Structure 1
Amino acid sequence: MNILILGYGKMGKIISQLAMNRGHQIVAKINIENVSDLENLDRDKVDVAIEFSQPDAAVGNIKWCLENDVPVVVGTTGWLDHKDEVSKWCKEKNGSLFYASNFSIGVNIFFKVNAFLARLMQDQNAYQASVEEVHHTEKRDAPSGTAITLAEGLIQNNNRYRDWKLRDEEEPLAEGTLPIVSKRIDPAPGTHIVQYVSKVDDITIQHEAHSREGFALGAVMVAEWLPGKKGVLSMNDFLDF
């Protein structure tokens, strides 16, 4: 396949190398320094785009793909305030948009474990739930998209919680609010912890990434799968959970 890389930071570089190792061609690598090249790109030479840029660039990159009928795999987080708008564009253009907060197969299994545990804990009022995430210091958005997905999965499956909030230790939490703690420590590629704490014991589930390669490989595998499909898709569609 001919792949367009939108965002050529650490993840973009790993994705490019893995894609080439799997026999694909990289037709262009677009970042902030050469973003004007996107307008001159021959769309007919692109089979799929993989978008791992920055929150302030993601929406424009996605819009270009949808307007040019390029299936796009999006791993950038921090732009989800625009997700409804972007999803509407996708439907209007009959496009192909695949978004995941995390492309790791292990993390997506972890999402399912989190939802199952949340249902089990629904009537256990002695326990207070929390989510914690640890990433490298170059990660700009906090909380991470993965932490938000975990929080939303917990809230959807446990009616004791109505919303989530990035934890400020000086500010008391309102009842029904799920705290998220974000830490930035190098060289951590990503650790996510869901914990239920009571006076007598704790229940903890955790996913720890050893490198970015698992995220990158998942994104390439999705890019191989996406062409020919339409609509707003997710890892539930890809993994057929």
Structure 2
Amino acid sequence: MEDHLFDSLNLQPGATVLDAGCGVGHVALHLAGKGLQVYGIDVVKNHIRWARQCIKDQGFEKSITVRLMDYHHLEELQDESFSGVYTMETLVHATDPEKVLAGFFRVLKPGGTIALYEYDHIKPYALPKDVPKDLLESLEQVNRRASMPANESFEFGVLQSMLERCGFQDVVVEDLSENIKPMIMLFSIVAYVPFLLIRLLGLQAWFVNTQAAVQGYRVMKWRLWRYVAVTAKKPMKKVSDGGIRERKIG
């Protein structure tokens, strides 16, 4: 998936990208290993601490910078300072995803690429009539307990519309659900027995990842959710004569 992200960004070696929600830095390390300069931000202090240690251990201090920052508030970052921006399953945690995307648009250079690797889901009115109620209830619990408020709004087509409203163009949505099904199935198998015990004891709120692992496979089987890669471009700047100013990205 990280190789797919690298290909989606389609940037030259040395290009600077914003990793919005970098966690402990695994994706940043992979992209830096392919020649990109990565600027990672995250709101969890321990993530930043662990990321810095991982970066140091693997010798990527010159290629990766990480700092504590909320992707809703990018005011300290300069306009048009990145050739690429990406999220890897982190935009779901946004309280105002459209504000976040507007911030990404501002910090991207003209012609720059945004790549969002996220889940979206079927619209409520299109739900199969026989979908189990306990599954829908479980999905609501996972969204709430895992702090994923944006996930509720990410119905099919919503991410594309948000990007277009923020000024992005050439939006492409690629459904990668089949690629991650084996992983989701493995998670479900590993978590199933613990999940039964947790549910029996009423401890779901304390083990949300276990609940999500089991229910995630059921969701995929019912085709209620998709795993998508959504890419788009920031338009090139127009010059006074109505032409397009050429700019090499990276």
TM-score, normalised via structure 2 length = 0.39
- TM-score (norm. length: structure 1): 0.41
Higher helix proportion = 2
